[in-house]
Copies of this chain bind each other. A is one copy, B any other.
Amino acid sequence: MATIKDVAIKAGVAISTVSAVINRSAPVSEDVIARVEAAIATIGYLPHGAAKALRSGNSRLIGVILPDITNPFFSMVARVIETVCMKAGYMTFVYNTDEDPEHEMRILQMMRMQRVAGMILISTRSDAAHGRRLMAAINVPTVLFGSNVEGTPYDVITLDDRKAGALAIDHLVELGHRRIAIIAGRPGVSTHDERLAACIEALQRHGIVLDEDLIIAADFVQQLAFEAGQKLLARADPPTAIFALSNLMLIGAMRALLAAGKTCPRDLSLVGIGDFDWPEIMSPQMTVVATPAVAMAEFAIGALLDEIDSKRPPAGKRTLFAPELIIRGSSAAVSIEEPLRDPLAI
């Protein structure tokens, strides 16, 4: 591969002049610029990224750490970040944690070795202990996305998870549902904790006594949600509605319904968090609390690049994006009145 030295020789100038032309970092005469650019073109020279990074102390690399790129929500987020980064002259590393904190730490270490200039992190845990581990492993501008982490000074961009939970429960209660099951995520992540807390709060607000058996954690995993759905449907007193706290878990619940030969929304209403690209190809079409993925991702990468460029320390600002309830065919009023369980009615 050609080096900057070859270009300098070819153009008959000094190495530093070539560098100045490439980076426009110092005034160079028009004549010399032309000669250097011609030399670059004929030789086919391309600067050596690692050498640049080593010498300048700036890798112009951004790390993106997310649970699973095959989840359409995250792949869209990655896509948006890539596009914005490329425009700004940054390259991106995208890595999957698989929701495993240990793996997250390993990825963080790789990012550090590459001396990334900044990171967008969708963390696997939200507790303070994990926050301390992160603080020890991260020494670059970072923006937390999707989930919060206690004890970190970073900016956080999330959905308004509490509102998302309340929106769905309110909707189901309005339709007359009282036995509402919740397929939850993984305790310890704010995405789970806040959504679930909001659900419980909403249920209580509506005077519904909480049935712990109707809440099943499925780790945000589609297959576990399927199994949770099967368990719920096999009950003597199955719920009249299921609320799944993520997009893939909603699919799992839907599969359980289909496997049990039940019909939605006749036998059971279904609601999820996170929308799908082509809702009309599902049957029935899903009622969801939609997450503005693109806007959130654009905001997050914008905030990160801003922090990197300005060299400002993180402000620790939390930005919540409003969820939107989209009512489709999967949720409907309870068809058959539940038998009263009040002793007084016997």
**Which residues from chain A sit less than 8 Å from chain B, CB to CB?**
1, 44, 46-51, 53-54, 59, 68-70, 72, 75-76, 78-79, 82, 86, 91-96, 109-110, 112-115, 136, 139, 222, 251, 254-255, 258, 277-278, 280-283
Contacts of A47 in B (CB 8 A): 113
Number of copies: 2
From A1, A110, A114, residue with most partner B Cβ within 10 Å: A114
**Min CB gap A341→B, angstroms:** 33
**Is the Cβ of B283 less than 8 Å from the Cβ of A282?**
yes
**Min CB gap A91→B, angstroms:** 6
Q: Given the known A-B contacts A46-B109, A91-B93, are A251 and B281 also in contact in the complex, defined by CB atoms under 8 Å?
A: yes
From A46, A92, A139, residue with most partner B Cβ within 10 Å: A46
Once bound together, how far apart are the Cα atoms of A166 and B108, in whole Å?
Answer: 47
Of B92, B96, B258, which contacts A82 at CB under 8 A? B96
Contacts of A72 in B (CB 8 A): 70, 72
**Is the Cβ of B93 less than 8 Å from the Cβ of A93?**
yes
Of B79, B139, B281, which contacts A258 at CB under 8 A? B281
Q: Given the known A-B contacts A1-B139, A54-B51, A69-B69, are A112 and B46 also in contact in the complex, defined by CB atoms under 8 Å?
A: yes
**Min CB gap A114→B, angstroms:** 4
**Is the Cβ of B59 less than 8 Å from the Cβ of A69?**
no
